Structure 1
Amino acid sequence: MEQSDREETGSAPGRMPLNAGDTGYGRVPGPGLSGSEVASESAPLLIPVPEPESVQEWQPMSKQQLEVAAGGPGWRKVRCYLVLLFWLAWVAMLATSIAIVVMSPRPVATPLRWWQKSLFYQLQPDLFTEGQAEESGGVNALCEQLPYLRSLGIGALILEGLFDKEASPFNVTATGERYSTLAQIQHLLAESNKAGLKVVLDFCQLDLLGPQDVSGNAEEPSNTHVLRFWLEQGVDGFAICDTDAAYSEKTLLEWRGVFKEFSKKEEEEERIVVVKQTQDALFPLNNVTLVDVVMKSILPSSPHLLSAQEVAVAIETRLQTREEDIWPSWKIGGKASHDLKKLLLVLMMTLPGSPAVQYDEDIDQTQNVSLKAGSSHGEMNEPSDTRTDKKKAKRLAVALFTSLSRSRAREEALLYGSFTFLPFNSSTNSSTNSSTSTLPSPPSLAVLAYLRSWGCVHFLILLNVGPEVHALDPAWAPSLPKAGVFVSSTGMDRLGAMTLDTLELQPHEAIVIKLFEAGSYS
């Protein structure tokens, strides 16, 4: 009986039943299940700890993966936004730059008249004598060279010595001994007009008022018919001296009336009056507009060649006593050596005003017959080395002249820029010059310097009048840019970039330098 009960209960003596009811061990309800539902299930006594998930390491995308990712819509939007942002930024910078350029203050240049932009070329009187005309062609040879002179940058001719001092220019209009000269002048005027050259007649030291009565008054109030005659021939102006009787307000007012008549008829540019200053100071007129150009000499008149020291003193005196009322025209005037003449040419071409160059064989057209009588015959008897040296000197002279004229024509700073005379120090002389009324000591006058400026453009002109080499002191003009480029020099052997700290001036050398800040190419 007891055995059968034990069999029914499924247990044996001494053994624990598997299912011991609600209070038995090992019966743990599973998650989410009631105890009745899992009463017949057994669970382990220990719950296993889950293993940590494996972390995927970062790896760069391959080319194929990048192409797939870049083609997605998100990247397309990003690229469109970046391109749009770039162009908006570019347009904004461009608009800002234009606004800065437009709104920034700039120097306003006064429009220049034709005589303010022209280079005057003075012709010697002996070109028009009858003997000169027979030997070298005279006016005909000059007419052949007019296009060549125009190519050098010359804009106007000043014809000198056409009339005898004892005679009046009225007599030229009559027939007689000088009729051939009149025909030559008319031919020259016509050819000059074709070549684009202006012509100014020199009436200096001539009696332009005609015969006078006992009281000193001219029998004809105004001999303006002479002006009308030459204006009809195509003359563009007249030159007189400050010592002539015609240099008066009354006479010049009458001349202005005649000029206005021809300006209205022919609708051409204005005719001008050039006054040659022969005295230390020009006699002032009440109406300064009656005179267009005052021609001044840089060197004083002297029967002998001026020394380097005299030339230096004359240059500095002239630079410190410049007048701004009337447009100046510069000529050499006095006598100087050949080397100093080249230096003075650089000076004239870079000063404010219009340079007036005297006729020079060095810039004559070498392939044509020289205008000087007998010069071609003399050259044939010279040694070949001498002829070679002369040809080389002519080429250098033409190159210097052309370089200066072209620089002056295209550079605003050399046309109407400001002028600043600079005190100078050299490494061989520690004394400092001052631009006061007292002239410096003689040794310090060996080198002169001045600056032509327009806006941000600066041209430095250095003149070494002395016979020694001079180096620039590093402390000289500290406010100037140190870097620059050579524009021209008397020896035409200066090319390329330069720095002021390493520059040395050769004897009798003049240099034109365009300065700019380091790293700038303006």
Structure 2
Amino acid sequence: MPLNAGDTGYGSVPSPRLQGAAGGSEAAPLLIPEPEPESGRQWEPMSRRELEVIAGGPGWRKVRCYLVLLFWLTWVSMLAVSIAIITISPRPVVTPLRWWQKSLFYQLEPELLLEARGSEGISAVCEQLPFLRSLGVGALILEGLFKREASPLNLTAVGRNLDTETQIQHLLLDSNKAGVKVVLDFCELDLSGHQDATRNSHEPSNFSASHALRYWLEKGVAGFAICDTDAAYSEKTLLEWRGIFREFSTEEEERIMVVKQTADVLRPLNNSGQINATMVDVVMRSILPYSHHILSTQEVADAVQKHLQTPEGDVWPIWTVGGKASHDLKKLLMVLMMTLPGSPAVHEQINQTQDKRSSAALFTSLSRSRSREEALLYGSFTFLPFNTSSTSNSTFSSPSSPPVLAFLRSWGCVHFLVLLNIGPEVHPLDPNWASNLPEAGVFVTSTGMDRLGSTSLYTLQLQPHEAIVIKLFKEGSYS
């Protein structure tokens, strides 16, 4: 039988998978080649006209320009409105303060030190100048240097012996080195300057007083103090003295005139029916009325409340205690002086007893708070009366007990609350009192120096004869 049996032989049987394939034999390729791509148009970037057509045509460009312009106009308008709101909104105005407005005054009587300690009295003051400066004292008021019967002819000779003048000059030199200014007290002295027969009639009647002022200004004195009852408290004399001050004054070393107020209201100038505030730089006021006996608690409360309710005038005040108060109220009055608008003047003998050290610690705490807090230095003052008609949780423990006095010192959004419990009983605060104040606060200082950390006005209780300074803040934030 022949091996090749024609076209349909054994070797030519087509496979089912390769039916219709070319050749249909075992020699056919196993992989089918991909078809050749059809010849067509190559890829090309779109032209500008085509892009404009797809983007919406030439009008779309104008729309985009308008949108960008609208965005910038809106942004500029919002910026302008923000600036206008900041400009129109009320805000505290910073008033540049003079050196006497920022200083703490310390009243000193060198004659008493000389009588008590001899020639070492002035030396003791010189040694204590760095300590006083560390407490924040910026100026000394030297009292009692001149006798009350002294005339302008002997204002350059102080004390009862020849060594006193030299010691005072030494004190002036040391105080200037320590950065403590000195003010001489001429209160209750005869400064009218009776004209000498040897002088010409056209010379001023107070030529000797002017000579004495120049003498002490050359020694480095920063100012002088007189009483509102003195003959020198007149427009003519003060104008002449201010002319002398201008000769020795600079922007940083300006000389001042202090007037001690002897009554509840500052007297008008002699031979004048009005008070000229431009003649006087500082008015020294007393919180308590002068008396020979220790004032009662109610008398102290009435005097303090009177000052808190009466707004001060245009002249910058220096606060002193003035009258006599009990030992328990001395620290409370110190807190009051240091937190009232104006400058405090402490009248203490230099001593290192335990009580003096405690008072110095309180004074230092208040001085540092006053120097770094604008609200305590030149902030606004608001008296906060208590609701005396309240029957529940009343701030009065008894009808005869003095009320708790309070006031607010504010600068912008910073508020300092000062609470004064002049009475001898414990006083809890009424939650309904001053409901618009922030509830939370942090203790700044207190008369007992034992108040620390944060507190709530709703749970605060004032101890007898206690004064507290609290910095208020909104709950959950610290200002």
The Cα shift of 1:182 comes to: 0.7
Cα distance change of structure 1 residues 175 and 344 upon mapping to structure 2, 3 Å threshold: closer
Matching residue of 2:260: 276
Give, in whole Å, the separation in 2 of the partners of 1:273 and 1:212: 24
Kept in 1, the 8 Å contact 2:297–2:402? The answer is no
CA distance in 1, matches of 2:157, 2:460: 61
Asked if 1:465 corresponds to 2:422, the answer is yes
Give 2:309's aligned residue: 320
Q: Say if 1:309 and 1:442, in contact at 8 Å, map to a contact too.
A: no
Counterpart check, 1:200 vs 2:183: yes
Equivalent in 361, 368, 391 of residue 399 of structure 1: 361
Q: How much has 1:172 moved relative to structure 2?
A: 4.7
User: Equivalents in 2 of 1:506, 1:429: separation in Å?
Assistant: 21
1:125, 1:175 → 2: CA distance?
11
**Maintained 8 Å contact 1:275/1:291:** yes
Cα distance in 2, alignment partners of residues 153 and 176 from structure 1 = 29
Cα distance in 2 between the residues matched to 1:348 and 1:187: 31
CA 1:237–1:430 in 2, change beyond 3 Å: closer, same or farther?
farther
Q: 2:220 aligned to 226, 234, 254, which one?
A: 234
SS of 2:468 mapped into structure 1:
strand
Q: Which residue in the other structure is 2:445 paired with?
A: 488
- Taking a change above 3 Å as real, the CA distance of residues 251 and 501 of structure 1, as seen in their structure-2 partners, is same
Correspondence list, 1:10-159, <5 A: 105-129=90-114, 132-134=117-119, 137-159=120-142
- Shift in Å, 1:262: 1.2
Please report how far the alpha carbon of residue 427 of structure 1 lies from its aligned counterpart in structure 2 after TM superposition: 11
Superposition CA RMSD, Å: 3.0
Per the normalisation by structure 2, the TM-score is 0.75
**Residue 519 in structure 1 maps to residue 468 in structure 2:** no
Structure 2 contact 145–158 (Cα < 8 Å) conserved: no
Alignment of 1:191 with 2:167, yes or no, is no
Which deviations, in whole Å up to 9, do the C-alpha atoms of 1:226-274 show, x marking residues without a partner? Answer: 110000000000000000001111100000100111126xx65210000
* Distance in 2 between residues matched to 1:257 and 1:158, nearest whole Å: 22
**% identical equivalent positions:** 70
Q: 2:283 aligns with which of 261, 279, 294?
A: 294
Amino acid at match of 1:182: E
Aligned counterparts of 2:393 and 2:149: Cα–Cα separation in 1: 54
Q: How far apart, in 1, do the equivalents of 2:392 and 2:195 lie? A: 62
Alignment partners' CA distance in 2, 1:352 and 1:253: 27
Distance 1:131 1:505 in 2: 40
1:194-273 maps to which residues of 2 (within 5 A)?
Answer: 194-212=177-195, 220-222=205-207, 223-263=209-249, 268-273=252-257
Q: Tell me, what secondary structure is at the counterpart of 1:298?
A: strand
Q: Distance in 1 between matches of 2:400 and 2:348?
A: 33
Residue 378 of structure 2: aligned partner: 416
* Structure 1 segment 425-440 matched on structure 2, within 5 A: 425=387
Deviation, 1:476, is 0.5
Separation of aligned partners in 2, 1:427 and 1:125? 51
2:154 aligned with 1:168: no
How many pairs were matched up? 389
Change (3 A) 1:398 1:174: closer
2 CA distance for matches of 1:173 and 1:421? 45
**What displacement does 1:520 show?**
1.1
Q: Which runs of 5+ in 1 are unaligned?
A: 1-36, 38-91, 367-389, 434-440
Q: Is the 8 A contact 1:242 1:275 kept in 2?
A: yes
CA contact (8 A) 1:107 1:455 kept: yes
1:344 to 330, 333, 350: 333
SS in 1 for 2:337: helix
Deviation at 1:288, TM superposition (A): 1.3
Q: For 2:331, what is the secondary structure of its paired residue?
A: helix
Point out the more displaced range, 233-242 or 442-451. Answer: 442-451
Q: Secondary structure at the match of 1:515?
A: strand
Distance 2:135 2:456 in 1: 30
Per-residue deviation, 1:143? 0.1
> TM-score, normalised to structure 1's length?
0.69
Structure 1 residue 507 and structure 2 residue 469: aligned? no
| Correspondent of 2:163 among 149, 164, 180 | 180
More displaced 10-residue stretch of structure 1: 507-516 or 205-214: 205-214
Supply the distance in 2 between the matched residues of 1:409 and 1:486 (Cα, whole angstroms). Answer: 17
Q: Secondary structure, in 3 states, of the residue corresponding to 2:444?
A: strand
Q: d(CA) in 1 for partners of 2:356 and 2:177? A: 27
Bigger radius of gyration, 1 or 2?
Answer: 1
How many Å separate the matches in 2 of 1:272 and 1:461?
A: 30
Contact 2:447 2:466 in 1 (8 A): yes
Per-residue deviation, 1:102: 6.7
| Residues 343 and 294 (structure 1), Cα distance of their counterparts in 2 relative to 1, 3 Å cut | same
Structure 2 residue runs of 5 or longer lacking an equivalent are: 1-19, 21-74
Deviations 1:388-407 (A, max 9, x none): xx53x343222111000111
Shift of 1:164: 0.7
Q: Quote the Cα distance in structure 2 between the aligned partners of 1:111 and 1:351.
A: 18
The 5 A counterparts of 1:329-340 are: 329-340=318-329
Is the contact between residue 127 and residue 139 of structure 1 (CA under 8 Å) also seen in structure 2? Answer: no
- 1:476 is aligned with what amino acid? W
Instruction: Confirm or deny: 8 A CA contact 2:394 2:430 kept in the other structure.
Output: no
Whether the 8 Å contact between 1:489 and 1:511 is mirrored in structure 2 is yes
| Letter of the structure 2 residue corresponding to residue 411 of structure 1 | E
Quickly say closer, same or farther: Cα 1:185–1:421, change in 2 above 3 A: same
Taking structure 1 as reference, are residues 268 and 179 closer, same or farther at Cα in structure 2, changes over 3 Å only? farther
What are the Cα deviations for residues 361-388 of structure 1, in whole angstroms up to 9, with x where unaligned? 5xx4x3xxxxxxxxxxxxxxxxxxxxxx
Give 1:178 shift.
3.5
Paired amino acid for 1:271? R
Contact 2:193–2:206 under 8 Å retained in 1: no
